[in-house]
Amino acid sequence: GNFHFLLSRETNSTNEEVKQLFKQKRLEHDAVVLAATDKQTQGRGRRGRVWHSPFAQNLYFTLGMQLHLPMAELSGLSLVVGIAVAKALQTFGLTPQLKWPNDVYLEGKKLGGILIELEGNFEPPYSVIMGVGLNVNMVDNQQGIEQAWNSLALHSGHNWDRTQVLTSLIQQIINQTNIFCQQGFSPFAKIWPDFDLYLDQNVNIVSGQRVEQGINLGVDDRGNLLLNQHEQIKAITGGEVSLRPA
Ligand code: ATP
Ligand code: BTN
């Protein structure tokens, strides 16, 4: 079939699993891959950071598909998936926020993250790897997460059914990704401010040693962050897509 499921109790990283599958197999053009696991031993965030992934508490999953999009549009994908996650959480009565370009927040604390990777081709269709980690029932910090974090259980005082949350997330991600492929990023640019954690606030954009300061004005029609620096508007690219040769 065109749906490939990789479900496990433990794996290194669901993003890595999907990446390997894309490498090994030439999948049907409309194939969708879902890898979900109870525990990751090498869960990763951006730029090699660790994503803490304790057993049977949270959601760790990756959707893989081949998208017909111009390369220039791809940088918006991380925001599209973030908006999809936020919309799914809203259906449960929550009010999530997003921190550009790839973090999900609840009550000002990090609830989840999105990691987009690419495999292979340097021309469309791109094999995109969309990884999502969401804290669901984790309530203690045995993992030693070094920044303020949240989970659905911490927030609401009760445990959540992970399968139910996963189902809603996947539906939204597939729906919003379809809209993105058909209409581009502009519909998402319109609703991004509804979720933006630091909208209209003074922010620092740090890249290595370089720091840029300005007021966060939201995003443009590509998903670039718009920074107001003394009435000069500067667009900042997320660089959240890591392109690696096959
Ligand atoms: P940015 O993406 O803007 O650079 P960031 O500092 O959150 O923000 P990321 O690479 O996105 O960096 O995420 C990795 C970081 O997230 C880790 O360094 C850790 O501080 C935090 N983190 C790791 N695991 C979890 C988790 N399960 N829940 C919440 N936060 C986590
Ligand atoms: C971030 O905030 O930097 C992104 C974190 C992404 C974590 C998810 S968990 C499932 C998938 N597999 C990984 O190794 N990372 C992503």
pLDDT of 246: 19
Sign of the four-CA dihedral 139, 61, 177, 244? positive
C-alpha dist (Å) from residue 190 to 83, 129, 185, 202, 222: 11, 25, 9, 21, 11
- In terms of domains, do 95 and 60 share one? yes
Structural domain boundaries, residue 218? 202-236
**Coil, helix or strand at residue 75:** helix
Sign of the four-CA dihedral 32, 33, 37, 43? negative
Segment-wise mean pLDDT, segments of 10 residues, the chain, 246 residues: 92 98 89 97 94 97 94 91 98 97 96 94 88 97 88 98 98 97 96 96 86 92 93 82 26
Return the HEC string of 87-98: HHHHCCCCCCEE
41 domain-assigned: yes
- In terms of domains, do 77 and 158 share one? yes
Candidate list 46, 87, 99, 162, residue with the active-site label: 46
244 is catalytic: yes
- In terms of domains, do 12 and 70 share one? yes
Alpha helices in the chain (DSSP H): 14-24, 77-90, 152-156, 162-183, 186-195
- In terms of domains, do 135 and 182 share one? yes
226 domain-assigned: yes
- In terms of domains, do 11 and 56 share one? yes
CA of 110 to the centre of ligand 1 (A): 8
- In terms of domains, do 27 and 127 share one? yes
Tokens 């620092």 -> residue: 204
pLDDT of 212: 87
- In terms of domains, do 157 and 40 share one? yes
92 domain-assigned: yes
Number of compact structural domains in the chain: 2
Which has the closest alpha carbon to 135: 89, 101, 196?
89
- In terms of domains, do 146 and 227 share one? no
Which residue's alpha carbon is at the smallest distance from atom 16 of ligand 2?
131
Rounded Cα distance, 104 and 55, in Å? 21
- In terms of domains, do 219 and 175 share one? no
C-alpha dist (Å) from residue 203 to 77, 162, 220: 22, 34, 17
- In terms of domains, do 107 and 207 share one? no
ipTM of the predicted assembly exceeds 0.95? yes
- In terms of domains, do 147 and 229 share one? no
CA of 232 to the centre of ligand 2 (A): 34
pLDDT of 240: 43
